């Protein structure tokens, strides 16, 4: 039987009051239980909120560099365990070892980055218009923050929420996704070993309907940061803002890459393939639409089809692309493939479950490419959280931009072009929070803001970099007349 992992509340590892647990299985081999976790309820979440509230003042009053020392030590502990965590991430979420290792390193780098940032925190000194007056701002922690994180980046996203929240002096409540909570659990273990005070960080695993709702509505909570689907995010937003909590929502995407007639087709195909099929298409920034100039359309279709068909599928420790995370995610992807065919799109690559002895038990789907896609088709409008690409022909840049922006999402978008006029117009006119030129829609630097437009975000606060600290702090302006 797999080991049972506990919640972390008030500095103690505890079991859920519900007495229930849930198994997390390997998506490459669902007969293998990786770990068993607490299936907690609202009462468990409320107990954690009480612990965070009790710890918030003392943790907020701790000198910021001292908080940074704990974050740095936690990052070092994660670094020492990188190989172990890489294997855990692959086992629970399904990423390849290369993808999982990169994500673990990202979490390490984030903790080290925000550890350094603690030495520059505090506020700004301004010039007063009056005599004998000091004028300055003081940045203070918001208080207790709830972090609700998804399964598709199960260590990077908890890290980029937790590290700035703790650096700023907030007490943290963390609810990782039930599908792959192990990597977030490992972060909390590292913080515990690094000496974080009791109650400053708390982790409760369990369903969003119980734990997530309590974390969004509990009176002790001052702010809520959520990453996940737009449908769930909008529910959390409504719950949290009912009593005017500060909210940060990062949600879905329908991310395009525009391929113009000046582009190198092979380079464009490499860029789109990386964005569409990397991490099995299970990224909010994944490329799901290729909007292609008609002059290079046929050549691009040939090239992207070749890229899709060359990908070797299987368990993440040996192959190019791993499984989808659960059977329900696989079924959702296959359903969208059926819908696309019913709507008249042409399937030119993939479209089914691959065959092979090493594929019999896992949640695998082939990298899939559709052509002859119209922008009003569901395959072009709705988020498909899998390796499915819709290729849409356009006559010129103006039509490409119109198609690009004609969706309810606005997370990431890229342009492959050597035309400087198109490049500068695209940067100005695209409706997306992340804009890439001659790069894939996926891939983010940790020191610059991340967030979307429209239904991809609450459009309130950005994550990462200095912007990541803004959400977790509140300013006082001080007039000191001497």
Q: Is 431 left (phi over 0), alpha (psi -120 to 50) or beta?
A: beta
Q: Where are the beta strands (DSSP E) in 356-411?
A: 368-371, 388-394, 409-410
Q: Is 287 within 8 Å of 383 (Cβ atoms)?
A: no
Between β-strands 223-227 and 246-250, what pairing exists: parallel, antiparallel or unpaired? parallel
Per DSSP, the three-state class of 386 is coil
Distance between CA atoms of 57 and 400, rounded to whole angstroms?
Answer: 52
Token pair in block for residue 120: 């520059």
Which residue's structure tokens are 């506020």?
A: 123
Q: Is 442 within 8 Å of 286 (Cβ atoms)?
A: yes
With CA atoms as reference, report the closest residue to 291 among 406, 153, 424: 406
Token pair in block for residue 136: 């300055």
Q: How far is CA 64 from CA 117, 164, 202, 337, in A?
A: 9, 11, 20, 51
The counts of H helices and E strands in the chain are 15, 22
User: CA torsion 234→236→242→244, rounded to 10°?
Assistant: -100
With CA atoms as reference, report the closest residue to 176 among 190, 193, 157, 191: 157
Q: What are phi and psi of 31, to 5 degrees?
A: -75, -15
Q: Containing H/E element for 453?
A: strand 453-454
Task: Give me the DSSP letters along 156-182.
Answer: HHHHHHHHHHHHTT-EEEEE--TTS-H
Q: Could you confirm whether 250 is annotated as catalytic?
A: yes
DSSP class of residue 263 equals S
Distance between CA atoms of 317 and 36, rounded to whole angstroms?
Answer: 22
Q: Containing H/E element for 346?
A: strand 346-349
Token pair in block for residue 477: 């302006």
Q: Is 138 within 8 Å of 111 (Cβ atoms)?
A: no
Exactly one of 210, 250, 383, 422 is catalytic; which is it?
250
DSSP class of residue 2 equals P
DSSP class of residue 467 equals H
Q: How far is CA 255 from CA 154, 431, 453, in A?
A: 21, 11, 12
Residues annotated catalytic, as ranges: 250
């Amino acid at each position: 039987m797999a080991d049972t992992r506990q919640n972390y509340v008030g500095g103690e590892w505890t079991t859920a009051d519900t007495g229930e647990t849930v198994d997390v299985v390997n998506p490459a081999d669902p007969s293998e239980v990786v770990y068993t976790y607490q299936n907690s309820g609202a009462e468990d979440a409320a107990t954690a909120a009480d612990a965070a509230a009790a710890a918030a003042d003392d943790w907020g009053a701790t000198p910021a560099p001292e908080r940074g020392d704990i974050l740095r030590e936690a990052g070092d502990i994660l670094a020492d365990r990188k190989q172990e965590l890489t294997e855990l991430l692959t086992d629970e979420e399904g990423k390849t070892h290369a993808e999982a290792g990169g994500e673990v390193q990202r979490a390490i780098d984030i903790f080290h980055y925000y550890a350094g940032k603690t030495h520059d925190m505090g506020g700004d000194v301004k010039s007063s218009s009056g005599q004998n007056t000091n004028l300055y701002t003081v940045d203070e922690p918001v208080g207790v923050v709830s972090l609700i994180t998804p399964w598709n980046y199960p260590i990077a996203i908890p890290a980029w929420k937790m590290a700035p929240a703790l650096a700023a002096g907030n007490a943290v409540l963390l609810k990782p996704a039930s599908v792959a909570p192990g990597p977030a659990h490992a972060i909390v273990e590292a913080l515990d070993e690094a000496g974080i005070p009791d109650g400053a960080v708390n982790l409760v695993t369990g369903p969003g309907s119980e734990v997530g709702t309590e974390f969004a509505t509990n009176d002790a909570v001052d702010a809520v940061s959520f990453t996940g689907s737009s449908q769930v995010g909008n529910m959390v937003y409504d719950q949290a803002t009912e009593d005017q909590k500060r909210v940060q929502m990062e949600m879905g995407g329908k991310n395009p890459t525009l391929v113009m007639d000046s582009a190198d087709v092979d380079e464009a195909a490499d860029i789109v393939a990386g964005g569409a099929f990397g991490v099995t298409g299970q990224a909010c920034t994944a490329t799901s639409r290729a909007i292609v100039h008609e002059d290079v359309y046929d050549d691009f279709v040939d090239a992207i089809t070749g890229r899709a068909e060359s990908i070797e599928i299987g368990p993440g420790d040996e192959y190019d692309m791993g499984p989808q995370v659960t059977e329900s995610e696989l079924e959702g992807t296959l359903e969208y493939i059926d819908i696309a065919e019913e709507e008249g799109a042409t399937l030119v690559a993939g479209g089914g479950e691959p065959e092979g002895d090493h594929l019999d038990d896992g949640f695998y789907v082939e990298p899939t490419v559709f052509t002859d896609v119209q922008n009003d088709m569901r395959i072009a409008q709705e988020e498909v959280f899998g390796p499915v690409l819709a290729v849409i022909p356009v006559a010129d840049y103006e039509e490409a931009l119109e198609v690009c922006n004609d969706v309810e999402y606005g997370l990431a978008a890229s342009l492959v072009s050597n035309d400087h006029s198109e490049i500068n117009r695209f940067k100005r006119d695209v409706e997306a929070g992340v804009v890439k030129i001659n790069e894939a829609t996926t891939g983010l630097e940790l020191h610059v803001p991340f967030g979307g437009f429209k239904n991809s975000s609450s459009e309130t606060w950005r994550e990462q970099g200095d912007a990541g600290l803004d959400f977790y702090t509140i300013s006082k302006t001080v007039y000191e007349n001497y």
